[in-house]
Chains A and B, each alone.
Chain A
Amino acid sequence: MDVHSLITRRAAGLSTTLHRVVRVLLIDDDETLTAPLAAALATLGHQVVVAADGAAGLGGAVDTAPEVVIVDLGLPDTDGVDLVRRIREASEVPQLVLTGATDPARRVQAFDAGADDYLRKPFRLDELDARLRALARRPGLRTGPGLIHAGDLAVDVAAKRVTRQGEEVRLTPIEWRILLALASAPGRLVSHRALLVAGWGEGYGDRETLRAHVRTLRAKIGDDAAAARYVRTEAGLGYRWIGGEEPSAARDAVAADESSAPPVDAAHAQLRHDLENALTALEVSAFVLGPAGAEAGVSEAARASALKRLPDVATRVRELVAQLLPVSPR
């Protein structure tokens, strides 16, 4: 086992008592990925079901009641984007897609089909873990037939009427369609393109116009982009309805969940922080000095500087690992 894996396992062991358990459905045919990934997620305390193909994944998304579905877009027997769409038609479960090479168009397609978040392979386990927990914590809406309640807002779908604290909110038709597209998909990321289609129709509108309408809509429903209660901006991707979530209440709930967790040793926490920084420096150094750095256009001067610093960076990692994992006496 390499040092990095050892550290990950060590960190995972520390984290188990602090993290929320998430029921995860992992849809991927590559056993060399699914076996260690499922084991690693289980180590973090999550419950993982693996589906090896699209058909099993689609069934599992309904039958196993996952809190989050992970879909590899590179499935050989199924179009990953189509699978995301079919799961979305069958379920409101949050979906995180794993993408391969840089392919922004493919990612946008996945979001249009109903994906909520993405990670590019290879990814870090703790990055995936954090995003799974964030997706699983999405707030629900209290809904009745044709009526959506969220915070101070009531949206009567049939009557096309919105009230805020009982007072009618007057929306333009476009604002209404944007609001409906968002509030009908609580917790899900709705892409710019999907909102443009909802507001103006296929082929019309642009992001700047959309941004202006969302800004006006927020003002009318009493929302603030910097401290969103209803519409959260997902940079570069779209918007997400968070339905009147009260951050402080959510924090209280998390705190209550974790009230029985033992306190993390302060010195150990500092050591972890230092090690995370040292590993970050090592990771970025490897990129800068490798072919990917040259390909990305990193300058020769920057590469020379990184090379000069590399021994110190490696020493930092070695010393911190020695502190975290002392050698046992033989």
Chain B
Amino acid sequence: MTRFWKVAALVGVFVAVVVVGVLVYGGDDTERDPATTRTSSAPPPAIPPFTQDRATEMSTALAAGDEASFRSAVAVPVEQPLNPDLVAALSSATPIFDLATVTELADGAVTVEADVMGSAPARWVVYLIWDGSVWMISATAAVP
């Protein structure tokens, strides 16, 4: 392989890797709710930390057992129908967030551990994402 082609190949690889990165990181832009998409060219404001106030709000919302409250705490597309019985069932699994365990994964994504009460008490890792205005629950995983 000539030097030219070697350089060209390396440039190609660099470009490809950058593009992959952009696509992966850039997923945010296409995944964000259109209603919250920033239109200003100004730099985005810093994302505030996950606070005890927001943790309490989320616990209260989940305990309410109704769909509107549930959607205020959990990232669910507005178009996605939810089974009211499942939402009601989740009200018994109210998480108590342990803010000492908050860990930043990436800009706009953190984990926090929570003790879940109810019939089968357990400790969970809760994955939160910043939806542009508040922290929302995206996923959970049992603490190994």
Partners in one complex: no
Interfacial residues, chain A to chain B (CB-CB below 8 A): none
Interfacial residues, chain B to chain A (CB-CB below 8 A): none
